[in-house]
Amino acid sequence: MNLINKYKHTLFGIILGSILGFAYYYFIGCANGTCAITSSPINSTLYGGLMGVLFVNALKK
């Protein structure tokens, strides 16, 4: 439990970024499948999670 409290902002960034990454794939995506990130739901979800972690950690003091 102490570990979760220590990294709660990072976990929040991963979860929120992953949801937004998948939503981007689902609603916008790539029409012809040649886009590296948005052509696969796994790629866009992982990329969204990474961007969420980077964004949340950039906001921390």
Q: What DSSP assignment string belongs to 18-56?
A: HHHHHHHHHHT--SSS--TTTTSHHHHHHHHHHHHHHHH
How far, in whole angstroms, is CA 38 from its chain's centroid?
12
Number of domains present in the structure of the chain? 1
User: In this structure, are residues 49 and 26 in contact, taking their beta carbons and an 8 Å threshold?
Assistant: no
Q: Decide if 31 is inside a domain.
A: yes
DSSP-derived letter for residue 34 is: -
User: In this structure, are residues 22 and 47 in contact, taking their beta carbons and an 8 Å threshold?
Assistant: no
Q: What is the pLDDT along the chain (61 residues), one digit of tens a residue?
A: 788 898 999 999 999 999 999 999 999 988 787 888 888 899 999 999 999 999 999 988 7
Range of the domain at 32: 15-59
Q: Decide if 8 is inside a domain.
A: no
Q: Decide if 6 is inside a domain.
A: no
How far, in whole angstroms, is CA 18 from its chain's centroid?
3
pTM, full prediction:
0.86
Q: Decide if 7 is inside a domain.
A: no
Q: Decide if 23 is inside a domain.
A: yes
